[in-house]
Chain A
């Protein structure tokens, strides 16, 4: 009994695999599935960007836009609306970054449908995203609130609250990145368990619904949440003036 369980768990496969290693200044560094999947996602994004650019340049005011151009306009409209409603008059400075973030995370999250291992199911991908957000927050805090404002915010109720406020500041990127990572990882693990442990006749048709929930729905929600929280924190740091 115990042996069969162990054997079955050998089929469950959601780990990051190293493809080949190389020597980087004396350290052994691995090229993993995450790198390859990130590259594929980036290639898709670049192809999409080139196609969209061509379609926009060829667009004619007198005729109806092509279906592809319609989709691009829909996307830009949606992102503009979300960013404008959250950041108000500061939106124009951050719209490029947030849109890039949104597209990359969204495509990464749903790439489980394309048969890739989602790049965001690797903490090495989500943590840098969190760190970028943290840098944005800190930079804007110092830029708009000046040093005095930052110090005043640190000792908010009282001077002895400084450590707690500092922990609160540093918890932001960690909780942001862990949220995204754990959500995508849980979807990946669920799909791996489903494909690895169940008999063959339930793997026909039914996984489609699981993919819709775990990859599409959960991925879209988490993308939205990550971008939303980034925007909220940054506009918090900018303050109302």
Chain B
């Protein structure tokens, strides 16, 4: 089977995009920890439920950013193909 240089770069870009999404592990763990602690906090003090929820969502959205950077790198590799130009 003959593989041209362009196809090789395309395939390697796809592998790189897949590897970039390993970045999703960290935010997943972080968001889980945040949600767990928020659940514990609501269990201890049910009156503060709305405050705890909004703080948790804010923190989770900030923690998500690193994962989104990984996603952006993957998208660039897959659809913009910077290595082919």
Interface, chain A (partner B; CB < 8 A): 15, 175, 178-179, 182-183, 185-186, 189, 221-222, 224-225, 228-229
Contact = CB atoms under 8 A, between A and B. Distances in A.
B9 interface: no
Contact of B71 (A175, A182, A228, A229): A182
Contacts of B62: 179, 225, 229
Contacts of A175: 65
B54 to A, nearest CB: 8
A183 B68 contact: yes
Given A182-B69, A228-B58, 14 more contacts: A178-B65, A178-B68, A179-B62, A182-B68, A182-B71, A182-B72, A183-B64, A185-B75, A186-B71, A221-B61, A224-B57, A225-B57, A225-B61, A229-B62
B55 to A, nearest CB: 10
Contacts of B72: 178, 182, 185
A3 to B, nearest CB: 12
15 contacts: A175-B65, A178-B72, A179-B61, A179-B64, A182-B68, A182-B71, A182-B72, A185-B72, A186-B68, A186-B71, A221-B57, A221-B61, A224-B58, A229-B58, A229-B62
A40 B64 CA distance: 30
A222 B58 CA distance: 9
A225 B62 CA distance: 8
B8 interface: no
A132 B41 CA distance: 36
Q: Give chain A's interface secondary structure class.
A: helix
A178 B57 contact: no
Interface residues of B, number: 13
Interface of B: 54, 57-58, 61-62, 64-65, 68-69, 71-72, 75, 79
B38 to A, nearest CB: 14
A175 B65 CA distance: 8
Nearest to A186: B71
Contacts of A222: 61
Contacts of A186: 68, 71
B58 A225 contact: yes
A222 B69 CA distance: 15
A84 to B, nearest CB: 14
Q: Which of B61, B62, B65, B75 has the most CB of A within 10 A?
A: B61
Contacts of B58: 224-225, 228-229
A18 to B, nearest CB: 16
